């Protein structure tokens, strides 16, 4: 996967596979790649024998709402009664209930919770994670979330890439004036930049949340301040968020479950990566899982992600999402592996450091209890990791007597 730039279109179907390979690591970096036979004459202070197991780059998770207070298990019954996600939000639940919980949760508790979820991601083979704010919707709590993500990045072995999603919902007090709320969020841009609290700015472009013109205006201001752009686009209604992502040169357009034909063409002809979140469609009981198949066939670069969040996709298990991508998006195993490694890394500005095993890169490597790469999407719903290595250090090993 040592290609320049994201892997697009039919190239996503071509995977480089080495048999009987060996990887040499010095400190935190890959310094040598060759055959096991060549490796057997080299000296090493420590040897980890994969014993014929599949070995891949650490997974890159390009879209999570990692830092939040509380949980929303009570909404499951509402969903079963058929109350739509956007209606729960309109009634002050959904995102807004997590906002209240996040505002009321002390910093240290939010940090502990985020570290717990990061541990679980690490155990599932993820070595780099994007994390969004967006459950504060006011200065104090948005900054609190971003600070938590920054400290979690320092304390936890996983790398976190931070995104400011202040424009995630309209707080009740701004119900009649969403633009005034967006102006308030814009006022945080300088402080976030100065304190290095986020690299990207994201917005939820959706019916009843922010319109395409509001999103354009907001994101243009973010771009002027030097932020990379992301958009929650075309998740539930096809408003044209995908087209907007391309128009603004966003690094990624995320969700894209109901993108138009025109949006697919524009995406294919752009450098914007489509981050598809099929776990969300599964969890919300939608029929539209995303048009990733058509996007790849048109020549686009696709990544996939859990969308880990307390409302619409409650899982840290990206392997499960790989199975959903195979079954519901009809992606091939080769396409899926690109989508959770090299392309996911490019979708969060880490294309040069994460997402592939190559000389000079950080040693982020997973050893799987699987005989080949087809096996992970095939055997679904469980954790297949055997050993997870981050920056050259073993951070997880499956405990077993077998």
Instruction: Tell me how far, at minimum, the Cβ of 31 lies from Zn ion, in Å.
Output: 37
* Residue 136 binds ligand IZC, judged by CB under 6 A: no
* Residue 252 binds ligand IZC, judged by CB under 6 A: no
| DSSP H helix total and E strand total for the chain | 17, 14
* Residue 232 binds ligand IZC, judged by CB under 6 A: yes
Residue 228: which of Zn ion, ligand IZC, none does it interact with, CB under 5 to 8 A by kind?
A: none
Q: Which of residues 269-308 bind Zn ion (CB under 5 A)?
A: 307
Binding marks (x or -) toward Zn ion, 303..342, rule CB under 5 A? ----x-----------------------------------
* Residue 336 binds ligand IZC, judged by CB under 6 A: no
- Could you give the CA distance from residue 185 to residue 316 in angstroms, rounded to a whole number? 29
Report helix, strand or coil for 286.
coil
E strands in 225-292: 228-233, 252-255, 273-276
Residue with smaller CB distance to Zn ion, 234 or 307: 307
CA distances from 315 to 113, 117, 120, 345 (A): 14, 9, 10, 20
- Could you give the CA distance from residue 74 to residue 93 in angstroms, rounded to a whole number? 10
Q: What is the dihedral of CA 304, 305, 306, 308, to 10 degrees?
A: -160
* Residue 210 binds ligand IZC, judged by CB under 6 A: no
Instruction: Tell me how far, at minimum, the Cβ of 89 lies from ligand IZC, in Å.
Output: 8
Instruction: Tell me how far, at minimum, the Cβ of 187 lies from Zn ion, in Å.
Output: 23
* Residue 241 binds ligand IZC, judged by CB under 6 A: no
- Could you give the CA distance from residue 70 to residue 79 in angstroms, rounded to a whole number? 18
- Could you give the CA distance from residue 286 to residue 20 in angstroms, rounded to a whole number? 42
Report helix, strand or coil for 186.
helix
Q: Which of residues 55-84 bind ligand IZC (CB under 6 A)?
A: 65
* Residue 315 binds ligand IZC, judged by CB under 6 A: no
Q: Which of residues 365-394 bind ligand IZC (CB under 6 A)?
A: none
> Which range binds ligand IZC by CB under 6 A, 90-98, 151-159, 343-351, 383-391?
90-98
> Which range binds ligand IZC by CB under 6 A, 111-119, 145-153, 240-248, 304-312?
304-312
Q: Sheet containing 126-132: which strands, arranged edge to edge?
A: 59-61, 126-132, 159-167, 200-204, 228-233, 252-255, 273-276, 302-304
Q: Which residues bind Zn ion (CB under 5 A)?
A: 307
Q: Which residues bind ligand IZC (CB under 6 A)?
A: 65, 94-95, 98, 204, 232, 235, 309-312
């Amino acid at each position: 996967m040592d290609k320049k730039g994201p892997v697009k279109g039919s190239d996503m179907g071509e995977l480089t596979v080495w048999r009987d390979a060996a990887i040499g690591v010095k400190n935190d970096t890959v310094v040598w790649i060759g055959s096991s036979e060549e490796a057997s004459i080299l000296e090493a202070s420590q040897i980890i024998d994969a014993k014929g197991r599949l070995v891949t780059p650490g997974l890159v998770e390009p879209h999570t709402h990692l830092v939040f207070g509380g949980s929303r298990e009570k909404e499951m019954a509402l969903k079963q009664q058929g109350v739509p996600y956007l209606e729960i939000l309109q009634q002050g639940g959904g995102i807004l209930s997590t906002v209240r919980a996040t505002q009321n949760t002390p910093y240290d508790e939010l940090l502990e919770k985020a570290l717990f979820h990061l541990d679980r991601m690490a155990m599932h083979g993820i070595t780099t994670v994007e994390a969004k704010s967006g459950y504060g919707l006011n200065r104090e709590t948005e900054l609190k979330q971003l600070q938590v993500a920054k400290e979690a990045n320092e304390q936890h072995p996983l790398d976190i890439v931070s995104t400011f999603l202040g424009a995630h919902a309209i707080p009740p007090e701004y119900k009649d004036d969403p633009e005034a709320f967006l102006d308030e969020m814009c006022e945080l841009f300088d402080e976030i930049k100065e304190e290095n609290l986020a690299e990207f700015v994201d917005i939820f472009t959706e019916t009843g949340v922010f319109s395409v013109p509001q999103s354009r205006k907001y994101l243009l201001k973010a771009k002027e301040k030097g932020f990379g752009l992301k958009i929650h686009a075309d998740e539930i209604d096809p408003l044209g968020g995908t087209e907007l992502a391309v128009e603004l040169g966003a690094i990624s357009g995320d969700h894209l479950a109901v993108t138009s034909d025109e949006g697919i063409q524009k995406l294919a002809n752009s450098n914007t990566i489509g981050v598809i979140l099929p776990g969300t469609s599964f969890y919300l009981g939608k029929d539209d899982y995303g048009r990733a198949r058509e996007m790849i066939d048109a020549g686009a670069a696709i990544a996939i992600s859990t969308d880990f969040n307390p409302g619409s996709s409650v899982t840290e298990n990206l392997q499960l999402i790989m199975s959903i991508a195979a079954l519901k998006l009809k992606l091939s195993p080769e396409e899926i592996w690109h989508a959770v490694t090299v392309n996911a890394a490019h979708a969060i500005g880490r294309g040069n450091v994460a997402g592939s095993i190559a000389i000079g890169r950080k040693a982020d490597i997973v050893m799987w209890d699987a005989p080949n790469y087809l096996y992970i999407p095939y055997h679904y719903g469980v954790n297949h990791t055997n050993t997870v290595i981050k920056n050259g250090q073993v951070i997880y090993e499956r405990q077993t007597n077998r």
